[in-house]
Amino acid sequence: MTSSRERIENAMNYQEKTVLLKNGNTCLIRRPEESDAEMLLEYLKVTSGETPYMIREPEEVRTSAEEEVEFIRKNREDPRALMLLAFVDGVFAGSCSFGCISERNRMRHRCTVGISLYREFWGMGIGTALLEALLSAAGAAGYEQAELEAVSTNEAAVGLYKKLGFDVTGTLPRAFKYKDGTYADFLFMVKSLV
């Protein structure tokens, strides 16, 4: 029988894999390396400007390359967190991650999940492939519940999350306020991993 420590170590030693997308392209899923830092910073800036569904504006990405390297290093060392990158035919497409909501005993069973893709890669099945790999690893790491927040008007993402077993458990009105003065609501979504 595998101990919980061995399960966590196996989950965090994620072995890269290649999946076939619905358009016939191949998608490599792997953990980030320190050498990915500048690529990831550019990705944050671009994706933040491509969609109203990200938590930041492009100009709010102020992390230095050195800080991003440290973030990647800490993520790779954290037995309760995982970040995965997707490359379609060798081109970086997006990322997803999970992390512990709190190390408090009463909340250690819950993880928060995030995902984003460059717009040009939407609708190919990459989000499904990334989230399936991530949620499997989260369960193997001992998490019992995955949680996320989605902008209510992001119908494609909400549909994907529901397809993967997330349920809407609540709404936070006016969670975002955009530069033009309009607002967007968040949906709280939860998936059982046990």
How long a stretch of residues is the chain?
194
Enter the pTM of the model.
0.90
> What SS3 state is found at 163?
helix
**Six-digit token string for 154:** 């992001």
Identify the band that residue 116 occupies on the pLDDT scale cut at 50, 70 and 90.
very high
- Give the pLDDT score at 5: 59
Q: Over pLDDT 70: what percentage of the chain? A: 94
**Six-digit token string for 148:** 């996320």
Asked if pLDDT for residue 1 goes beyond 60, the answer is no
DSSP 59: G
Q: What is the pLDDT of residues 12-40, one digit of tens each?
A: 678 899 999 988 999 999 999 999 999 99
- Give the pLDDT score at 14: 83
Asked if pLDDT for residue 11 goes beyond 90, the answer is no
Q: What is the pLDDT of residues 43-64, one digit of tens each?
A: 999 999 999 999 999 999 999 9
Q: What is the pLDDT of residues 143-156, one digit of tens each?
A: 999 999 999 999 99
- Give the pLDDT score at 115: 97
Average pLDDT score, the chain = 93
Helix (H) or strand (E) holding 87: strand 82-88
What are the two backbone dihedrals, phi and then psi, of residue 99, each rounded to the nearest 5 degrees?
Answer: -155, 160
Q: Over pLDDT 90: what percentage of the chain? A: 90
